[in-house]
Structure 1
Amino acid sequence: MHFSGKNKVLAVLFAALLLMPMAGAVSESGDIREAEFFKAPDEAANGENGLFDELSVKAELYNENFDEVPMLFKRLVGSQEIALQIKQDDENMLYATAIMRGGMVGEFYSYDTPEDPISKFGPSMTVETDEQTVHQILDSEDPLKEAVQSMNEGTLVVEVEGFFRKAVLWTITKLYS
């Protein structure tokens, strides 16, 4: 089988994605216990803290429906720290961090400054957007496709570190546009 230049890159990328192990390595160092994942606080259901509460509830829902999340997206978010910077409708900024564990939300918290006061290493992914774009994505029947459309329009800016994450993000933008 012969591939042209662009198709060769895609073929190699897809082969790499399919062959990479999904989660961690085998360990003989003792008992392995299941990680705890994010659960929204009970008070978040009433939405008193606005957009952050809504995102907290959606993060828990994402974890509950993890089996339905596209594999490429799971690989993109993997196990990393994701910084969110969202300009709210009231002109205030919402700064939040999602600590991902194997593609699921392990921790999710907000803070008042552009720099995460808890972070030890800094984010490997940064997402910048506004509240209206967040609602368009969350309310969409196909949130991933809506997110890609927002990236193409420039209302959602996603910056990732590392060749692998950049390649996965590029692939997502081509498949879901």
Structure 2
Amino acid sequence: MLLFAPIAGAVSNAGNIKKADLYKAPENSTTNNNLFAELSTKAELYNTNFDKVPGVLQRLVASEEIAGKIKLENGEMLYVTLLMGGGKIRDFYSYTTPNDPNSKFGPSITVETDEKTVKKVLDSEEPLKEAVKSMNDDSLKVETEGIFRNMMLSTLKAFYK
């Protein structure tokens, strides 16, 4: 879901660089939304296995803020943000408004879809191929900012048709 992917490691002379804490799915989520709980579990699983994520996907989401807008089967909206840091998912949370109240700069990648598409991707034997198929049939809309991200998204679509 939402192109869970790590950032590439950054090299800096800026002094002390602290490794990001790993994202841990909430054990007793206060949300009543089962989809958010399932996505939280998948985010934790991703962190455990992120070294298996294709490089093209890793480069697409390098140190990004990813906003997700998911129309639920009951007609409500699920708004989520995925923050990447240190090559892992640093934070994943939901909120009740269309715009993330915690965002300082706004998302660099926005994903819009519905619950049916999310579940179809999650349940697939090949989730990345299923996600690309959903992008191509427009049931999963991914908007990126910048030429580099647009090129990486195009490359991803070409490799995983």
* Same fold per superposition (TM over 0.5): yes
> 2:91 corresponds to which residue?
107
Distance in 2, matches of 1:132 and 1:26, equals 42
In the comparison of the two structures, how many residue pairs are matched?
A: 153
Calculate percent identity across the aligned residue pairs.
54
Distance in 2, matches of 1:49 and 1:129, equals 16
Q: Does 2:19 match 1:34?
A: yes
| Greater relative contact order, per chain length (Cα 8 Å cut-off, separation 6+) | 2
Q: Does 2:9 match 1:23?
A: yes
RMSD, aligned α-carbons: 1.5
Q: Structure 1: where are the runs of 5+ without partners?
A: 1-21
Q: CA deviation at 1:101?
A: 1.6
Contact 1:84 1:97 in 2 (8 A): yes
Structure 1 runs of 4+ aligned residues shifted over 3 Å read: none
Q: Deviations over 1:86-112 (max 9, x none)?
A: 000111000000011254211111000
> 1:3 corresponds to which residue?
none
Q: CA deviation at 1:40?
A: 0.2
Q: Which of the pair has more CA radius of gyration? A: 1
- Normalised by the length of structure 2, the TM-score is 0.90
Contact 2:9 2:87 in 1 (8 A): no
Where is the helix percentage greater, Structure 1 or Structure 2? 1
Contact 2:83 2:92 in 1 (8 A): yes
- Normalised by the length of structure 1, the TM-score is 0.82
